[in-house]
């Protein structure tokens, strides 16, 4: 009987302790939201696994390499939920995404960017498993490493107002097979698409003379198609193609290879001499 009373007393005590340990619903909701910029807020919905960022202006810069359970100082505030975060929606009004904002958020499947966005910071989406990204035409600047190591990325639509593709911007995007560079881009920096092992074709909506491309911007086997002719007097609309810095347009590749150039020069010189050999007139004899 004594043991039974002791057991009942412990049971009542345990029940009281459990009731006191319950967290109010309001605190749970509050823990899934907060500030992420001077005028920007975030809210994570665990049921839909969606992060929504709203407000206006910039999203803060954060520290690179944030992982849950490690030093959280300087990390993005949704770090505790990155294992649950599959979708990102950034509302209209946000103009800038800070450095490392979503770096190595390893479960993100899709991202929707607003038409108010003008800048994407360094490593903003690097290491995320997104398969596609559409960058709105409002974006004029994408910083270094912004999409590096996005190993599932297959589709990229660039802004028509982007003027430059930054250093290592799409480095190590292994599944990217082709991309179109808009006419607004005037410079592609080194390593921009380096080590994109399956990138076979790049379509540039300008002529070769209108854009500056670093020598290691693309893998060595990538074919670059210029959709406009370099010659202002040319009426041909056929794209010009280069590979490893060598022009592959039919006019140049169908005739001779580069190794034939010295021989060609010699033959041309001989032909030129033959064409310009003066004719000696023999005077008539009486």
pTM of the model: 0.73
Q: What is the rounded average pLDDT of the residues 95-101?
A: 98
Average pLDDT along the chain: 81
Higher pLDDT among residues 158 and 280, named by residue? 158
178: pLDDT strictly greater than 90 = yes
Q: What confidence tier does 285 reach under pLDDT thresholds 50, 70, 90?
A: very low
CA dihedral (103, 109, 114, 118) positive or negative: positive
* Distance between CA atoms of residues 203 and 225, nearest Å: 5
* Distance between CA atoms of residues 282 and 128, nearest Å: 85
Bridge partners for 242 per DSSP: 224, 247
Condensed to tens digits (0 to 9), the pLDDT of residues 8-66 reads 566 655 565 555 554 434 333 346 999 999 999 999 999 999 999 999 999 999 999 88
Query: Which phi and psi (to 5°) does residue 269 adopt?
Result: -65, -45
**235-244: Cβ within 8 A, 24+ apart:** 239/203, 240/207, 240/208, 242/208, 244/220
Would you call 59 exposed, middle or buried from its count of C-beta atoms within 10 A (0-12, 13-18, 19+)? buried
Condensed to tens digits (0 to 9), the pLDDT of residues 179-209 reads 999 999 999 999 999 999 999 999 999 999 9
* Distance between CA atoms of residues 123 and 136, nearest Å: 18
* Distance between CA atoms of residues 45 and 27, nearest Å: 14
Query: Which phi and psi (to 5°) does residue 252 adopt?
Result: -105, -30
């Amino acid at each position: 009987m004594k043991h039974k009373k002791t057991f009942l007393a412990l049971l009542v005590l345990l029940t009281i302790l459990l009731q006191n340990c319950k967290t109010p619903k309001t605190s749970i909701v509050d823990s899934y939201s907060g500030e992420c910029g001077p005028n920007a807020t975030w809210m994570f919905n665990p049921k839909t696994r969606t992060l929504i960022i709203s407000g206006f202006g910039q999203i803060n810069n954060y520290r690179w390499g944030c992982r849950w359970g490690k030093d959280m100082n300087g990390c993005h505030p949704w770090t505790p939920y990155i294992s649950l975060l599959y979708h990102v929606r950034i509302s209209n009004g946000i103009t800038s995404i800070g450095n490392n904002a979503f770096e190595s958020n390893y479960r993100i499947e899709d991202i929707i960017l607003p038409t108010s966005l003008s800048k994407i910071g360094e490593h903003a989406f690097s290491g995320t498993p997104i398969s596609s990204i559409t960058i709105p035409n409002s974006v004029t600047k994408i910083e270094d490493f912004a999409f590096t190591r996005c190993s599932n990325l297959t589709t990229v639509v660039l802004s028509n107002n982007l003027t430059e593709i930054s250093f290592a911007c799409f480095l190590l995007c292994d599944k990217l097979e082709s991309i179109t560079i808009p006419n607004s881009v005037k410079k592609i920096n080194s390593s921009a698409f380096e080590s994109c092992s399956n990138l076979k074709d790049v379509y540039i909506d300008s002529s070769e003379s209108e854009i500056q491309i670093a020598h290691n911007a693309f893998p060595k086997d990538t074919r670059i198609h210029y959709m406009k002719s370099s010659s202002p007097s040319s009426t041909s609309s056929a794209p010009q193609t280069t590979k490893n810095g060598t022009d592959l347009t039919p006019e140049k590749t169908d005739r001779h290879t580069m190794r034939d150039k010295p021989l060609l020069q010699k033959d041309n010189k001989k032909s030129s001499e033959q064409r310009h050999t003066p004719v000696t007139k023999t005077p008539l004899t009486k």
